[in-house]
Amino acid sequence: DAKTTQPPSMDCAEGRAANLPCNHSTISGNEYVYWYRQIHSQGPQYIIHGLKNNETNEMASLIITEDRKSSTLILPHATLRDTAVYYCIVRGDSWGKFQFGAGTQVVVTP
């Protein structure tokens, strides 16, 4: 599975959009991009995933570049409860374990 690169931390003001970047320059054609988050040592929470089209659900939007070498997770209106470590993971469509890296520590401030 391809490796990902994320900034170690970022701050976001409450009510503003949070844009979380992820580089996955070695991604291959059958690998999906997944986003999870972990709030204060709780179990990771699934956010969204996609292959090449942009995706949106009730939690977030996922924007994948045309060459698929990078993506951005967008939290449209960050709240204090969105403070968490966000993990970007790429995984193939056959059996491939989720490999969690260091993620991005997002702190939402009032």
Partner 1 sequence: NAGVMQNPRHLVRRRGQEARLRCSPMKGHSHVYWYRQLPEEGLKFMVYLQKENIIDESGMPKERFSAEFPKEGPSILRIQQVVRGDSAAYFCASSLQGPANNEQFFGPGTRLTVL
Closer residue to partner 1 (CB): 53 or 94: 94
Continuous H helices in 1-110? none
Give whole-number Cα distances, 80 to 10, 16, 19, 103, 110, in Å: 14, 11, 15, 18, 7
Two structure tokens written together for 65: 């570049």
Question: Which CB, 21 or 44, lies closer to partner 1?
Answer: 44
Q: Quick one: which segment of 8-16, 17-25, 42-50, 56-64 binds partner 1 (CB under 8 A)? A: 42-50
94 near partner 1, judged by CB under 8 A: yes
CB of 78 to partner 1, least distance (A): 22
Q: How far is the CB of 110 from partner 1 (least distance, A)?
A: 27
Should residue 87 be labelled a site residue for partner 1 when binding is judged by CB under 8 A? yes
Q: Which of 14, 23, 32, 105 binds partner 1 (CB under 8 A)?
A: 32
Closest CA to 34 of 78, 107, 108, 96: 96
Residue among 85, 96, 93 nearest 6 (CA): 85
- What is the Cα–Cα distance from 101 to 22, expressed in whole angstroms? 11
- Site residues (CB under 8 A) for partner 1? 32, 34, 41-46, 49, 87, 91-103
